[in-house]
Structure formats: structure tokens, C-alpha cells
Amino acid sequence: MHPFDDDVLQCFLDNQQQLFPDRAAETLAEAESFLEECMAVVVDSVEEVIEFFEEEGVDTEGASGDEILDADEVFDVGDGRYLIVMA
């Protein structure tokens, strides 16, 4: 698990409406607090996203990596990492 750096926080700020119709945060500090409260995680690969969902009991049977990455809870940071917000 990685800390929430500015790239992760900005990714969440820019894309949060894919999961939350009303904005959850307006600033990097608010985003960090919100993500910490949600116990969000940052992982390094598609495989780790799948592994996380399986550990959380989310049924991924038969789902492709692309389908899993399209889940509203998954945010592509853009540098190979993914933010997962289970709110």
C-alpha cells in the first residue's frame, strides 16, 4: 500500500464524479482526508487490483482486466498505479 501522493490525490479530484455524483473533495488536503477515511488503497498493477477485489470478496470470476478497471471504484492514476476507493 502506498501513501497518497499529489498525483494520486489529483487523479481523485479530477475523476471523483465517476463514483460520487456530488464532489467529495475540493482540495488536495480534503481528498487526502477523504481517501484516508475510506481506507482507499493504491496498487501497482491490474493484477493487484484484481487481487484486492478478490481479498475484499468482490466476485471477479470471468471478468477481464479491462472490465475490472472500468469499475467506478478504480481510478487510473496514469503512471501504472491504480487508486481503489471502496466507499
The answer to whether 74 touches 49, Cβ cutoff 8 Å, is yes
2 band by pLDDT with thresholds 50, 70 and 90: low
CA dihedral (14, 41, 27, 37) positive or negative = positive
Query: Structure pTM?
Result: 0.91
Q: What is the pLDDT of residue 66?
A: 87
Taking only the tens place, the pLDDT of each residue in 54-84 is: 999 988 888 888 899 999 999 999 999 999 9
DSSP helix, strand, coil percent of the chain (3-state; round to 5): 45, 10, 45
- Categorise residue 29: left if φ over 0, alpha if ψ from -120 to 50, beta otherwise: alpha
Provide mean pLDDT across the span 44-60.
92
Pull the grid cell for residue 76.
487510473
Provide mean pLDDT across the span 19-27.
93
Q: What is the pLDDT of residue 56?
A: 92
